[in-house]
A and B are shown apart, each in its own frame.
Chain A
Amino acid sequence: MKKDIRNVRNIGISAHIDSGKTTLTERILFYTKRIHAMHDVKGKDGVGAFMDSMELERERGITIASAATFCEWNGHEINIIDTPGHVDFTIEVERSLRVLDGAILVLCSVGGVQSQSITVDQQMRRYQVPCIAFINKCDRSGANPFRVIDQLKDKLGHNAVALQIPIGLEADFSGVVDLLRMKAVYFDGDKGESLRLEEIPEALRELAQAKREQMLDAASMFSDELMETILDEKDVAADLVIAALRKGTLARQLTPVLMGSAYKNKGVQLLLNAVNDLLPCPDDIENKALDMDKDEAPVRLTSDPSAPLVALAFKLEDRTYGQLTYLRVYQGSLSKGDTLINVRTAKKIKVGRVVRMHSDQMEEIESIPAGYIGALFGIDCASGDTFVAPGLSLTMTSMYVPKPVISLMISPKDHKSEINISKALNRFTKEDPTFKTHVNPETGETIISGMGELHLEVYLERMQREYAAEVTAGAPRVAYRETITQQAEFDYTHKKQTGGAGQYARIAGRLEPLPDQDFEFDNQVVGGSIPTQFIPACEKGFRKCLAKGPKMEFPVTGVKVVIDDGASHSVDSSDMAFQAAARGAFQQGYFKAKPVVQEPIMKVVVETPTAFQGPVMGSLNQRRGMIVGAQDEGALCVIESQVPLAEMFGYSTVLRSLTQGQAQFTMEFLAYKQVPQSIAEELEKKAAEQKKKVA
């Protein structure tokens, strides 16, 4: 493994569904000689793209789990994480961005900046990932890369600067003009492998000059030297422009835009050059960990391979020969035979095999130095765990994990499946923090929850395929919850005298609505009316009530409990008595505090040909959706709406039939909002029936 950190790039490829990022990755691997044949995502040869290693991925033509791979280009080592585009699998995108230093934002030259691109862009902003943009599919009918650049500016607020212009478009797309070197570049050979440089065609010369000036203008903001050269009207060297563009890109103040068609093998090599030239090396990025011994004070990590190790496990996979853990080493280096500490569990781990991943194939290596991504075998950990050298107590900042919004009851068809299900669930929950599972203690049903219908569907299929678990799934259920809307007081005494030691506890105080938080406990008891040793028992009692709301048995959130008075008995008071009193007090105050049921509202964005705008809006309207707006984009129209998740089941089928399969939609969690009265009544009825059944 080469050790010059400046020649390392850890990049991700993020984009909207069907923008062609898996195809692009495939081409990158081909040109960097990591693979020797190219296959299409939904190709006729049935092989599927290289990065889509899961059987299911190849079948559906989508990338579900991100696969890590590496390649070499012009003396630079590039680690690539292929990320899924569907919003249901966003945790994968988030994880990848967490460990990446830079990214390629792939955009479709027809579809432009679509809803998912906006989500991905927000994620990149959250993790401060510098990016370059690649406008793909320039060969498609309706392609217009300049419109996409305008959208990058308007919709995403990027300072997007074209480094190329297309030579021809749609079916006539034949190459690009490189504005840095002012040359026309064509991609010859069966697979576009040989580059031919020529003079810029006459018809494009004026446009190329104008766009180059725009590029130089933007780049000169980041280099005084370049600015002076331009003002002095001297020849501008490409290296000088590249250095300025790189500076702007690293500061996330400039987004260089390249273009091409991965499917038609055009423009990929220039994109790789741009990755080397413009995206950061691990040293350019400041990574911080939190020192657990110093009250989580931030510590800057250095990419020095001789410093003590700090590494983050960002992805787990279950292989036939055990758990494979993907790691990014931030500091020091990780070698075979090393002893590591898992900071979360404080357990010591001995490193066995160290490998470098190339989609589902692997290559055994001696060590992973700082800045690199690799994988370990046979260590037991969860995704997001930090590993350090003995003596350190650092943890990488935790990743943002959204809460699940949808759940499903599953049951095994036979005994063998039952065992396999538990194995599968154990694995999936470790791999994916947005996928949760629990057993309903009353009904004994196993419930799985996640970020969307497709998210759960994929796990159900994986259970069947990978674990041979035959599963029956119930109808998906929405994660409703309860909250209170006004302040209410309680004063409850728990008293029991049934022979033997009695129970006595009194708690008084109030419940208050607490927007944007789950729970807060405020102890304002003075004068020892509740002895200090019983205060934790009070809190515990209140917390226990949150799991199942008294109104409809949904989890309770947004409640602040303030206790300010109470009473105890020298003999009969105990932790148990105060817990029971807290439960009683909560019940007493809860109904006075006007509880309501809330449901998850999703932001649903539909992209449809304009001809189907009416029916699509109608379909959203029928689903209790509120249409925020409709954006006319020429042939396409983007409708943004807010729809309760409960109404969105099976929407993809409805949308397909409404629009002859020409529309697509994305859905992501927006907020919890109060359910309308009629729906609340229905839910109450259902809850009552359920209760009867259980009884």
Chain B
Amino acid sequence: MLTPTDKLAAAANRAPAALIVMKERYIAMLKNDLILHSPVQYLGGQSADVLADGQFGGVLARAGVGKTALMVQIALNSMLHERNVIHVSLNQPVNKTNLWYREVFGHLARQSNLPQPEALWESLLPHRFIMTFRAEGFSVPKMEERLTDLVEQKIFVPRLLIVDGLSFDEPLRDSLSDLKHFARLYAMRVWFTIRTHRHEDPGPSGVPKQLSDVEDLFEVAIQLVPVGEEILVKVLKGLTLPAEHAQLVLDPTTMLVKDRSA
């Protein structure tokens, strides 16, 4: 015969297991909600990625137009699919990079009327690793060394690598070729922000000069072009936008991608 205390203890033992399942289910539900509303789906459908393993993507724009905001949307989309993201930022401290994520996530959550965004945010964080370098001491091999450390010790195994702030004004071909090899080896997709300059003519193939030397290494390139008060999302290569979302823009208040016609 069980005493009331035993019954209570038994109840206590049962309760958490049921709760964990419920909590996980709830978080999964929130994730699905957000994935359905994710603006990145305009670029790559409902899948997490626009890129395949080992592929490179570039987001080109002038300073201050929204490259990092778009990158963070791509990263969050990957995190929602439980795919690990390493965000390498040059010259921005960890806190500032984290702030970008909080901001963009906040906008996404509000846009999708997500209840309890904090719970979902907490569950996304383990899928993100921010690594920052000072630009003056940075080199692609140095970054590779750090990444290898993480991957080989199984501290953090990324599926998506974001490199934000690398200067494409310098010759990068050799380093990027090495990185491409590295990305294939570890089945990673890599996105870069590429800063262009206001008064520069495009290269011979019509793409900005910064990309033209290494264009063959990039499977996808997207350019953000400010036109009046809008920022147009223009595909330079590797993507065909579905007819119903042919005109994408960045919302100037939230910097989220949206369909202009919507």
**Set A618, A631, A638, A681: member contacting B155, Cβ < 8 A:** A618
Asked whether any CB of chain B lies closer than 8 Å to the CB of A688, the reply is: yes
Contact A632 B130, beta carbon cutoff 8 Å:
no
**Set A594, A633, A688: member contacting B19, Cβ < 8 A:** A594
User: In residues 536-585 of chain A, which contact B (Cβ within 8 Å)?
Assistant: 550-552
For B138, the closest partner residue in chain A by CB is A632
Asked whether any CB of chain B lies closer than 8 Å to the CB of A591, the reply is: yes
> Which interface class (under 10, 10 to 19, 20 to 34, 35 or more) fits A?
20 to 34
Asked whether any CB of chain A lies closer than 8 Å to the CB of B97, the reply is: yes
Question: If A613-B149, A626-B126 touch, does A485 touch B19 (CB 8 Å cutoff)?
Answer: yes
**Set A594, A634, A688: member contacting B134, Cβ < 8 A:** A634
Contact A596 B16, beta carbon cutoff 8 Å:
yes
Contact B9 A614, beta carbon cutoff 8 Å:
no
Give chain B nearest CB distance to A377 CB in angstroms: 46
Question: If A155-B93, A634-B134, A634-B137 touch, does A629 touch B155 (CB 8 Å cutoff)?
Answer: no
Interface centre among B19, B122, B125 (most CB of A within 10 A): B19
Chain B 239-261 near chain A by CB (<8 Å), digits 1 or 0:
00000000000000000000000
For A680, the closest partner residue in chain B by CB is B16
Contact A154 B150, beta carbon cutoff 8 Å:
no
Contact B131 A630, beta carbon cutoff 8 Å:
yes
Chain A 617-640 near chain B by CB (<8 Å), digits 1 or 0:
110010000111111111000101
Give chain A nearest CB distance to B99 CB in angstroms: 12
Contact B132 A677, beta carbon cutoff 8 Å:
no
Residues in A neighbouring B11, C-beta threshold 8 A: 591
Asked whether any CB of chain A lies closer than 8 Å to the CB of B17, the reply is: yes
Asked whether any CB of chain A lies closer than 8 Å to the CB of B133, the reply is: yes
Contact B15 A591, beta carbon cutoff 8 Å:
yes
Total number of B residues with any Cβ neighbor in A under 8 Å? 36
Residues in B neighbouring A680, C-beta threshold 8 A: 16
Contact B156 A594, beta carbon cutoff 8 Å:
no
Residues in A neighbouring B20, C-beta threshold 8 A: 677
Contact B12 A684, beta carbon cutoff 8 Å:
yes
**Set B94, B149, B153: member contacting A629, Cβ < 8 A:** B94
For B8, the closest partner residue in chain A by CB is A550
Give chain A nearest CB distance to B123 CB in angstroms: 11
Residues in B neighbouring A596, C-beta threshold 8 A: 16, 19
Asked whether any CB of chain B lies closer than 8 Å to the CB of A308, the reply is: no
Residues in A neighbouring B18, C-beta threshold 8 A: 594
Question: If A617-B155, A634-B137 touch, does A154 touch B12 (CB 8 Å cutoff)?
Answer: no
Give chain B nearest CB distance to A494 CB in angstroms: 15
A587 vs B32: C-alpha distance when bound (angstroms): 36
**Set B15, B130, B142: member contacting A628, Cβ < 8 A:** B130
User: In residues 586-602 of chain A, which contact B (Cβ within 8 Å)?
Assistant: 587, 591, 594-596
Contact A595 B94, beta carbon cutoff 8 Å:
no
Give chain A nearest CB distance to B119 CB in angstroms: 10
Interface of A is mostly: mixed
A627 vs B146: C-alpha distance when bound (angstroms): 14
Asked whether any CB of chain A lies closer than 8 Å to the CB of B182, the reply is: no
Give chain B nearest CB distance to A590 CB in angstroms: 10
Contact A595 B129, beta carbon cutoff 8 Å:
no
Contact A617 B149, beta carbon cutoff 8 Å:
yes
Residues in A neighbouring B155, C-beta threshold 8 A: 614, 617-618, 621, 627
Residues in A neighbouring B131, C-beta threshold 8 A: 629-632
A49 vs B141: C-alpha distance when bound (angstroms): 46
Give chain B nearest CB distance to A75 CB in angstroms: 42
Asked whether any CB of chain A lies closer than 8 Å to the CB of B167, the reply is: no
Give chain B nearest CB distance to A329 CB in angstroms: 39
For A551, the closest partner residue in chain B by CB is B12
Asked whether any CB of chain A lies closer than 8 Å to the CB of B41, the reply is: no
Asked whether any CB of chain A lies closer than 8 Å to the CB of B3, the reply is: no
Question: If A154-B93, A155-B93 touch, does A630 touch B137 (CB 8 Å cutoff)?
Answer: no
**Set B12, B17, B146: member contacting A677, Cβ < 8 A:** B17
Contact A626 B134, beta carbon cutoff 8 Å:
no
Residues in A neighbouring B112, C-beta threshold 8 A: none
Contact B156 A627, beta carbon cutoff 8 Å:
yes
Chain A 637-650 near chain B by CB (<8 Å), digits 1 or 0:
01010000000000
Interface centre among A551, A596, A632, A688 (most CB of B within 10 A): A632
Give chain A nearest CB distance to B185 CB in angstroms: 18
Give chain A nearest CB distance to B91 CB in angstroms: 9
Contact A631 B150, beta carbon cutoff 8 Å:
no
Contact B98 A632, beta carbon cutoff 8 Å:
no
A591 vs B10: C-alpha distance when bound (angstroms): 11
For A485, the closest partner residue in chain B by CB is B19
Contact A617 B153, beta carbon cutoff 8 Å:
yes
For A619, the closest partner residue in chain B by CB is B155
Contact B16 A631, beta carbon cutoff 8 Å:
no
A631 vs B137: C-alpha distance when bound (angstroms): 12
Chain B 82-117 near chain A by CB (<8 Å), digits 1 or 0:
000000000001110110000000000000000000
Contact B134 A591, beta carbon cutoff 8 Å:
no
Contact B94 A640, beta carbon cutoff 8 Å:
yes
Contact B12 A629, beta carbon cutoff 8 Å:
no
Asked whether any CB of chain A lies closer than 8 Å to the CB of B205, the reply is: no
Contact A591 B132, beta carbon cutoff 8 Å:
no
Residues in B neighbouring A154, C-beta threshold 8 A: 93
For B122, the closest partner residue in chain A by CB is A673
Contact A552 B146, beta carbon cutoff 8 Å:
no
Residues in B neighbouring A633, C-beta threshold 8 A: 134
For B90, the closest partner residue in chain A by CB is A632
Give chain A nearest CB distance to B146 CB in angstroms: 7
Contact A594 B137, beta carbon cutoff 8 Å:
no
Residues in A neighbouring B122, C-beta threshold 8 A: 673
For B91, the closest partner residue in chain A by CB is A154
For A605, the closest partner residue in chain B by CB is B94
Contact B132 A626, beta carbon cutoff 8 Å:
no
A551 vs B15: C-alpha distance when bound (angstroms): 10
Contact B153 A594, beta carbon cutoff 8 Å:
no
Residues in A neighbouring B153, C-beta threshold 8 A: 614, 617-618, 621
Question: If A591-B11, A617-B150 touch, does A632 touch B134 (CB 8 Å cutoff)?
Answer: yes
Give chain B nearest CB distance to A225 CB in angstroms: 35
For A610, the closest partner residue in chain B by CB is B146
A673 vs B150: C-alpha distance when bound (angstroms): 26
**Set A485, A551, A621, A631: member contacting B94, Cβ < 8 A:** A631
User: In residues 3-27 of chain B, which contact A (Cβ within 8 Å)?
Assistant: 8-9, 11-13, 15-20, 22-23
Give chain A nearest CB distance to B170 CB in angstroms: 19
Residues in B neighbouring A613, C-beta threshold 8 A: 146, 149
Residues in B neighbouring A591, C-beta threshold 8 A: 8, 11-12, 15
Contact B130 A629, beta carbon cutoff 8 Å:
yes
Residues in B neighbouring A681, C-beta threshold 8 A: 16
For A154, the closest partner residue in chain B by CB is B93
Interface centre among B8, B11, B16 (most CB of A within 10 A): B16
Residues in A neighbouring B98, C-beta threshold 8 A: 628-629
Contact B15 A594, beta carbon cutoff 8 Å:
yes
A613 vs B19: C-alpha distance when bound (angstroms): 37
For A617, the closest partner residue in chain B by CB is B155
For B17, the closest partner residue in chain A by CB is A677
Residues in A neighbouring B130, C-beta threshold 8 A: 628-630
User: In residues 97-121 of chain A, which contact B (Cβ within 8 Å)?
Assistant: none
Residues in A neighbouring B94, C-beta threshold 8 A: 628-631, 638, 640
Instruction: Using CB atoms and an 8 Å cutoff, list the residues of chain A in contact with chain B.
Output: 154-155, 485, 550-552, 587, 591, 594-596, 613-614, 617-618, 621, 626-634, 638, 640, 673, 677, 680-681, 684, 688
Instruction: Using CB atoms and an 8 Å cutoff, list the residues of chain B in contact with chain A.
Output: 8-9, 11-13, 15-20, 22-23, 93-95, 97-98, 122, 125-126, 129-134, 137-138, 142, 146, 149-150, 153, 155-156
Other 13 A-B pairs with CB < 8 A, given A621-B153, A628-B98, A677-B20: A155-B95, A550-B8, A551-B12, A587-B8, A591-B11, A596-B16, A618-B153, A626-B126, A629-B130, A630-B129, A631-B132, A680-B16, A681-B16
A-B contact pairs, 9 of them (CB 8 A): A613-B146, A614-B150, A617-B149, A626-B126, A630-B94, A631-B132, A632-B131, A640-B94, A684-B13
Q: Closest 10 interchain pairs by CB?
A: A629-B130, A629-B94, A614-B149, A632-B133, A631-B132, A594-B19, A621-B155, A617-B155, A630-B131, A551-B12
